[in-house]
Amino acid sequence: MQIENIPQAIRQCAQVAGLLWQKGWAERNGGNMVLRIGESDVLQLSLEPSGCVFPCGCSVPLLAGQYFYCKASGHRMRDLASSPLSYGCIICISDDGMQYQVLGSGDLKPTSEITAHLLIHNQLVAENSPNKATLHSHPTTLVALSHIDSLCKDAELTRILHGMIPEARLFVPRGINIIPYFEPGSVELAEQTLQAIKGCDIVLWRKHGVLSTGPDMMEAFDNIDIMEKSAEIYWRYRTLI
């Protein structure tokens, strides 16, 4: 399919994937993204159900019948950047909110972190939030800071990062919450992320990466970009004093 015929919100996901690669926050198949899309987007893509059904790994009743664009498991952000439908797939959540079906050929499976993303989307719908995008990536300096025990306190890290540049407090006012290391793709990681995201803009997964939300994928990226910039300035400032 020609890129011009792909819905704008999915083209924006491709743009963000390219930025993540350029930033160095998406090595190999690192990072993932999930965007809630409308039925009109699916109609535009003329995709049929593939028959491939998988468990959500959690109960997401508020997402029943909803469609999501997801980075595909095992694939690279840098490839998705130029071909969003070859390295990303559309899923539809079942009526009981326990399973999803992949649309299209069924050759692709969504990201290994799909459970964390879906739990957060379920919460966003419960809160009537305008946020439709969830984004996970591996921003270098934030991950480095997450190795330091004394910094890994929600209020303390938020205070430090808010103090580095004015944009941090302005655009990421609720700051960052931190959770311990859990196995990537695990239900524990998903459940802890869900608890931590209530009341903040970004969750820092210690020794791994971050998860952010936004009305669209670009704004979810902007939140990470701003906090990573703050973290970088904090690191350089600490080396100078």
Binding site for ligand 2HA (CB under 6 A): 29-32, 111-113, 136, 184
Question: CA 45, CA 70: separation in Å to the nearest integer?
Answer: 15
The residue sitting closest to ligand 2HA, measured at its beta carbon, is 184
Question: CA 220, CA 146: separation in Å to the nearest integer?
Answer: 20
For residue 57, which amino acid is it? G
Instruction: Count Cβ atoms below 10 Å from residue 30 Cβ, excluding itself.
Output: 18
- We find the least distance from the C-beta atom of residue 235 to ligand 2HA, in angstroms, to be 22
Does residue 209 bind Zn ion (CB under 5 A)?
yes
Which 3 state secondary structure label does DSSP give 60?
Answer: coil
Does residue 139 bind Zn ion (CB under 5 A)?
no
Size of the site for Zn ion (CB under 5 A): 1
Identified catalytic residue from 48, 113, 127, 183: 113
- The owner of tokens 């904090």 is 234
Nearer to ligand 2HA, 113 or 219 (CB): 113
Nearer to ligand 2HA, 17 or 168 (CB): 17
- We find the least distance from the C-beta atom of residue 74 to ligand 2HA, in angstroms, to be 8
Query: Does residue 207 contact residue 146 with C-beta atoms inside 8 Å?
Result: yes
Nearer to Zn ion, 147 or 236 (CB): 147
Instruction: Count Cβ atoms below 10 Å from residue 60 Cβ, excluding itself.
Output: 25
Query: Is there a catalytic annotation at residue 27?
Result: no
Nearer to Zn ion, 139 or 209 (CB): 209
Decide: residue 48, CB within 10 A, 0-12 exposed, 13-18 middle, 19+ buried. exposed
Which residues are catalytic, by number?
Answer: 113
Binding site for Zn ion (CB under 5 A): 209
